[in-house]
Amino acid sequence: MAITRAEVLHVARLARLALTEEEIARFQEQLSAILEAVGKVDELDLSGVEPTAHPLELSNVWGADEPRPSIDVEEALANAPDREGSYFRVPPA
Amino acid sequence: MTWEPVIGCEIHVHLKTQTKMFCRCATGFGAPENSSTCPVCLAHPGVLPVPNERAIEWTIKLGLALGCDIAPRAVFHRKNYFYPDNPKGYQISQYDEPLCMSGSFLLPGVGGDTEIGIVRAHLEEDAAKNVHMGGGEGRIHGADRTLVDFNRAGMPLVEIVTQPHLRSSEQTKRFLQLLRQTVRELGISDAEMQEGSMRFDVNVSVRPEGSDELRTRTELKNINSFNFAAQGIEREIQRQIAIYEGGGEVVQETLHFVPGQEHAAPLRSKEEAQDYRYLPEPDLVPIEPPAEMVEQARAELGELPSARIRRLETELDFGLAEGLVTSGRDGLYERTPGDRRAVANVVMNELAAAGLDPTEVNGEELGKLVEARDRIPREAFMKALGASGDGDFKAEDYLGEAVIADESELDPVIERILAANDENVAAYRAGKQGLLGFFVGQVMKETGGKADPKVVNTRLRELLDRS
Amino acid sequence: MIDTLRLTAKEANALLTGGELSSDELFAAYRAAIDERDPDLNCFLHVCDESPGAGIPIALKDVIGTKGIPTTAGSKILEGYLPVYDATVTERCQARGLRTIGKTNMDEFAMGSSTENSAFGPTRNPWDPSRVPGGSSGGSTAAVAAGLAPWALGSDTGGSVKQPAALCGVVGLRPTYGTVSRYGIIAFASSLDQVGPVTKTVADCAFLYSVIAGRDPCDTTTVDLPHPVEIPEAEDLRGLRVGVPRELNEAEGIEPGVTESVQAAIELCRELGAEVGECELPRSVEYGLPCYYLIAPSEASSNLARYDGVRFGLRVSPDGIRAMYEETRDEGFGDEPKRRIMLGTYALSAGYYEAYYGQAQKVRTVIRQEFAAALERFDVLVSPTSPTVAFPLGAKTENPLAMYLSDVLAIPPNMAGLPGLSIPCGLSEGLPVGLQLIGPQFSENVLFRAGHALEQALAFDVVPPRLA
Ligand SMILES: [Mg+2]
Ligand SMILES: [Zn+2]
């Protein structure tokens, strides 16, 4: 279940992580070992088994369509790394 | 060779709930930026979504109107991707277990009904609004910064996906218009293109007539008007045909239209291979629509627009019937007694031109107006029509005092009377001025007493004195 | 001077209600203990100088949101972040007068078993500062063990309350999934995360659980408790059926000293009147850890996507949005979150979902069924909480898989959403050993009763000798 360097790079791109060369090499090795260990689940024949997404079997939990106060704009922006007026500002998308 | 277009649509409709899909921030168009936000829709650490019950009810209602099966169990999934307008880094949407599936939408046409297959209708949340600054106005390219407003983030959105069952740009436009009207009549969305509460993407391909292959398609995105959709699709159909006829191959790509710039060439982009890494949303539990909820929604449906077009077509022609229904004017049409065609024309044209809300017009009174339409001065008719939306409008108040004072309407009558009485004309001109009263009497008789005597007097004198 | 080392929450509260001490004096006493001992232990990432309320103090794991009080989840990417809202558990504690004394250290985003993965330096074990306190709630468990707080809250995804409680010689509960609100808890793996009490006694644990448990409209995965929490009083185990799952007690890597203490505790169960028998969990232990290390990283890869430098937290800002994301996340996340994000992203990506995430969800069903079968015959299952006692700092940092094995016994019941209580049951090499008690969903009262009776009989001294 070894993971290739190309796969490490692909996954890092999907996850938006700019890995250093050292990290790429180390993660390739470590992820290969971990995948080897967790890949064990594939040994089991579970064709007739339903997946468990959730430990409790709940359904239909929702809230009424009744507005509650929003937070203050200044509070919304209080943690913003950068802003322009009442907008969050980011580099060009 | 004859080519057949193959067209499918994806339509996003904002539900007009009071609050967002997963938090209780108020929805609403035009609030100051970032004023309708909270930790949940800003995706602060630790927040959790709470689904909006009404949005679920309304999606079920829409699904029923689209002839869909309502799933016994629907599951929200996370669609993972990074973009500044996507605060959590995933959109909560529905994936392989949507609320509504396998529907069929009846699109009436001149030659009969067409069934447009509905693949699914599912519930999801909208993204925030990005404003690209610097560079060209609001354009992505050349911008030097992007500003983000999270008011729209998390607004409830229904996505409707059709089968590729549409066969022309004109048919697609008619489908989209009828779908819009259906959504509006269900009372679940304003479906206003300008406000972005209805948006659609269209997939277009062509194939040789008679074949059932599906060729490479292109996707037209961000279309924000029906006419624009029809033009864009038509242009794309012709472009693809030209490519095939020139021996080329159509490339799968996306054509992005810039909203508001309907004549600008679309931006083309190769479809980037996406990997959304869907997973069942672990913060939410499944929806198992209770029977009462589904039955309640079904009971609220009423006669759907497509059925009404078919019914009205029997008393009008198809175009008028469709026009009335898709413009939401057929209710007034049906409430208004009188000659069907005359009523349809007044409701469809004059009333629209007068800018009146058809739901506020009293049909009985409008019927009296339509009936008198050809007897009364145009000016008086239009004046009465303009007032017909008032709550206490009474046609007789206007018809009673309606006078023909318009020279352009009176002149033909006067000329006809003068021509028919040349002896009296000659006598008048010879000096028998007292004959003026005779002519006035004739005009009044002819106009059923509605002519303005002052105007009649003046015009008669002018015309008799002329030669 | 108040000896905070020995004081239980119940006793501390009695001092207040008896009028012997004011809430401020008590708060000051714990603040003094922190000033004295925390420089060596690093249990706290933030200490509060004042805090509203008229009751006793509580320490909160830094994964728990506290309005206006820094909350970082042990990560550089949230350095300086000030929540604009309180977590539901924070509100519930405040509603009962509890005063937040500080935010405790943890493995970054609760990913780890030693609290060495904190971006702000490791916490040390009060029993032996050269050793780890366990993790990821190591700050909370070490703080309670060292008398820096009468009690604390931690969070447990794959053993993060139970395991450090074991290694620090305190009581830790991982509640039934869905009984404690996750609203305001910085998410790691949503289908597993659960907040739990860390205390000196089982009675304190039951009380704190009663404060935080119950349905929260802000968390749709929560439910109301089927029966109210009972503060345990029973001194015996008569009528209780105690199961000893072979695989959980004989797993590879369990230290002999740990087995010895646990065996003695099982013997004690018999003496206290319990009916003790063996049982099997054939696949739960073998496949529990692999199952966990697919599901938790997958959910984490998605939960940690919001740390993008747009709305809060760290931003490293070169040109362009993509570079901003990539540099921010590379610099803001430590090794372990990156590793798990990579693992989870891979497991969810096109072509792998069915073999990994999909299959792991099915394994979860198998584990649920196995526990359900065992719990038909027994009221409580027992095992060591951790295969080892506290290990030296640095011993496992180079080998992620070895670190992951620290939770091999704590994880299986978590996958089934079952509650687990860890109580100290003895010493091995002078370090605490934890006993794990597992019951069916919503069986906390049974766990409290059994834990309390054992606790009384064991008379384990929770004060680390070097501090006494
Ligand atoms: Mg969509
Ligand atoms: Zn909100």
Within 441-460 of C, beta carbons closer than 8 Å to A belong to: 441
**3-state secondary structure string, C403-444?**
HHHHHCCCHHHHHCCCCEEEEEEEEECCEEEEEEEECCCCCH
Contacts of C87 in chain B (CB under 8 A): 46
C191 to A54: CB separation less than 8 angstroms, yes or no: yes
Closest residue in B to C305 (Cα–Cα): B89
Spacing, Cα B159 to ligand 1 middle (Å): 6
Instruction: Identify the sign of the CA torsion C413, C414, C415, C418.
Output: positive
Within 49-88 of A, beta carbons closer than 8 Å to B belong to: 53-54, 56, 58-68, 70-71, 73, 76-77, 79, 84-88
Q: Which of C118, C160, C386, C406 is catalytic?
A: C160
Q: Which of A5-19, B245-259, B394-408, C155-169 has the lowest mean pLDDT?
A: B394-408
User: For residues C164 and B90, what is the distance between their CA atoms, to the nearest angstrom?
Assistant: 32
Instruction: Write out pLDDT tens, residues C228-254.
Output: 999 999 999 999 999 999 999 999 999
Task: Identify the DSSP state of B165.
Answer: -
What subunits touch chain C, counting only 3 or more CB pairs under 8 A?
A, B
User: For residues A63 and B339, what is the distance between their CA atoms, to the nearest angstrom?
Assistant: 51
A88 to B34: CB separation less than 8 angstroms, yes or no: yes
Spacing, Cα B86 to ligand 1 middle (Å): 12
Domain range spanning residue A26?
A: 5-43
Spacing, Cα B223 to ligand 1 middle (Å): 15
User: What is the pLDDT at residue B232?
Assistant: 87
Q: Measure A5 CA to nearest chain B CA, in Å.
A: 19
Interface predicted TM-score of the whole assembly (ipTM), two decimals: 0.97
Task: Say what angle helices C202-212 and C88-95 make with each other, to 10 degrees.
Answer: 110
Q: In this structure, are residues C246 and C278 in contact, taking their beta carbons and an 8 Å threshold? A: yes
**3-state secondary structure string, chain C?**
CCCCCCCCHHHHHHHHHCCCCCHHHHHHHHHHHHHHHHHHHCCEEEECCCCCCCCCEEEEECCECECCECCCCCCHHHCCCCCCCCCHHHHHHHHCCCEEEEEECCCHHHCCCCCCCCCCCCCCECCECCECCCCCCHHHHHHHHCCCCCCEEEEECCCCCHHHHHHHCCEEEECCCCCECCCCECCCCCCCCEEEEEECCHHHHHHHHHHHECCECCECCCCCCCCCCCCCCCCCCCCCEEEEEHHHHCCCCCCHHHHHHHHHHHHHHHHCCCEEEEECCCCHHHHHHHHHHHHHHHHHHHHHHHCCCCCCCCCCCCCCHHHHHHHHHHHHCCHHHHHHHHHHHHHHCCCCCHHHHHHHHHHHHHHHHHHHHHHHHCCEEEEECCCCCCCECCCCCCCHHHHHHHHCCCHHHHHCCCCEEEEEEEEECCEEEEEEEECCCCCHHHHHHHHHHHHHHHCCCCCCCCCC
Please indicate, yes or no, if residue A75 is contained in any of the structural domains.
no
B147 to A58: CB separation less than 8 angstroms, yes or no: no
Spacing, Cα B180 to ligand 2 middle (Å): 27
Please indicate, yes or no, if residue A55 is contained in any of the structural domains.
no
Closest residue in A to B287 (Cα–Cα): A60
The CATH number of whichever domain residue C138 belongs to comes to 3.90.1300.10
Spacing, Cα C187 to ligand 2 middle (Å): 18
User: For residues B174 and B460, what is the distance between their CA atoms, to the nearest angstrom?
Assistant: 53
CA neighbor of B54 nearest in space, from B92, B34, B27: B27
User: For residues C337 and C355, what is the distance between their CA atoms, to the nearest angstrom?
Assistant: 23
User: For residues A16 and C377, what is the distance between their CA atoms, to the nearest angstrom?
Assistant: 49
B82 to C310: CB separation less than 8 angstroms, yes or no: no
- Number of domains chain C contains: 1
C75 is catalytic: no
Distance of CA C221 to the CA centre of its chain: 19
User: What is the pLDDT at residue B378?
Assistant: 73
Please indicate, yes or no, if residue A15 is contained in any of the structural domains.
yes
Contacts of A84 in chain B (CB under 8 A): 133, 145, 147
Q: Does B146 touch chain C (CB under 8 A)?
A: yes
Q: Which two tokens stand for residue C315?
A: 């931003």
User: For residues C458 and C264, what is the distance between their CA atoms, to the nearest angstrom?
Assistant: 10
| Residue B430, C-beta contacts closer than 8 angstroms, at least 6 positions apart | none
- Residues present in chain C in total: 468
C160 is catalytic: yes
* pTM, to two decimals: 0.91
pLDDT average, residue stretch A40-49: 92
Q: Which two tokens stand for residue C33?
A: 């203990």
CA neighbor of C439 nearest in space, from C197, C216, C289, C245: C245
Spacing, Cα B151 to ligand 2 middle (Å): 8
Q: Which of C61, C103, C162, C396 is catalytic?
A: C61
User: What is the pLDDT at residue B141?
Assistant: 67
Beta bridge partners, B201, equal B10
Contacts of C73 in chain B (CB under 8 A): 45
Q: Which of A10, A26, A49, A52 to mutate to test the interface with C (most CBs of C within 10 A)?
A: A52
pLDDT average, residue stretch C328-339: 97
Please identify which residue in the block is written with the tokens 């003496």. C271
A55 to C314: CB separation less than 8 angstroms, yes or no: no
Q: Is B329 left (phi over 0), alpha (psi -120 to 50) or beta?
A: alpha
A31 to C343: CB separation less than 8 angstroms, yes or no: yes
Q: Measure C79 CA to nearest chain A CA, in Å.
A: 11
Spacing, Cα C200 to ligand 2 middle (Å): 40
User: What is the pLDDT at residue A85?
Assistant: 96
Contacts of A58 in chain B (CB under 8 A): 285
Contacts of B44 in chain A (CB under 8 A): 79
Closest residue in A to C399 (Cα–Cα): A30
CA neighbor of C87 nearest in space, from C115, C111, C68: C68
Please indicate, yes or no, if residue A24 is contained in any of the structural domains.
yes
Q: Measure C328 CA to nearest chain A CA, in Å.
A: 8
What subunits touch chain A, counting only 3 or more CB pairs under 8 A?
B, C
| Residue C198, C-beta contacts closer than 8 angstroms, at least 6 positions apart | C137, C140, C141, C144, C151, C152, C153, C154, C161, C165, C170, C171, C172
Q: Which of B144-148, C45-49, C172-176, C298-302 has the lowest mean pLDDT?
A: B144-148
User: What is the pLDDT at residue B216?
Assistant: 92
Residue of A53, A87, A90 with shortest CB distance to B280 = A53
User: What is the pLDDT at residue B353?
Assistant: 83
Contacts of C311 in chain B (CB under 8 A): 42-44, 87
Spacing, Cα B204 to ligand 1 middle (Å): 18
Ligand that lies nearest to the alpha carbon of residue B19, given by its number in the listed order:
2
Q: In this structure, are residues B116 and B104 in contact, taking their beta carbons and an 8 Å threshold? A: yes
B48 to C306: CB separation less than 8 angstroms, yes or no: no
Domains of chain B and any CATH numbers = 3-297 (no CATH), 329-398 (no CATH), 407-464 (1.10.10.410)
Instruction: Write out pLDDT tens, residues C390-411.
Output: 999 999 999 999 999 999 999 9
Please indicate, yes or no, if residue C429 is contained in any of the structural domains.
yes
Spacing, Cα C352 to ligand 1 middle (Å): 23
**3-state secondary structure string, chain A?**
CCCCHHHHHHHHHHCCCCCCHHHHHHHHHHHHHHHHHHHHHHHCCCCCCCCCCCCCCCCCCCECCCCCCCCCHHHHHCCCCCEECCEEEECCC
Please indicate, yes or no, if residue A34 is contained in any of the structural domains.
yes
Q: Does B247 touch chain A (CB under 8 A)?
A: no
The CATH number of whichever domain residue A37 belongs to comes to 1.10.20
Amino acid letter, C94: Q
Please indicate, yes or no, if residue A36 is contained in any of the structural domains.
yes
Closest residue in C to B278 (Cα–Cα): C348
Q: In what order do the strands lie in the sheet with C44-47?
A: C44-47, C99-104, C57-61, C152-156, C194-199, C171-174, C420-428, C431-438, C380-384, C241-245, C275-279
C136 is catalytic: yes
Q: Which of C136, C261, C298, C422 is catalytic?
A: C136
Q: Which of C362, C411, C414 to mutate to test the interface with A (most CBs of A within 10 A)?
A: C362
- Number of domains chain A contains: 1
Domain range spanning residue C257?
A: 9-282+365-458
Instruction: Write out pLDDT tens, residues C65-95.
Output: 999 999 999 999 999 999 999 999 999 999 9
Q: Does A25 touch chain C (CB under 8 A)?
A: no
Instruction: Identify the sign of the CA torsion B172, B175, B181, B187.
Output: negative
Please indicate, yes or no, if residue A22 is contained in any of the structural domains.
yes
A55 to C322: CB separation less than 8 angstroms, yes or no: no
pLDDT in tens, chain B (467 residues): 899 999 999 999 999 999 999 999 999 778 999 999 999 999 999 999 999 999 999 999 999 999 999 999 999 999 999 999 999 999 999 999 999 999 999 999 988 889 999 999 999 999 999 998 887 655 666 778 999 999 999 999 999 999 999 999 999 999 999 999 999 999 999 998 888 899 999 999 999 998 998 999 999 987 878 888 888 899 899 999 999 999 999 988 888 776 555 555 667 666 566 899 999 999 999 999 999 999 999 999 989 999 999 999 888 889 899 999 998 899 999 999 988 988 999 898 888 888 888 888 888 888 888 887 776 767 778 888 888 888 888 887 777 666 677 788 888 888 888 888 888 888 888 888 888 888 888 887 887 777 777 788 888 888 888 75
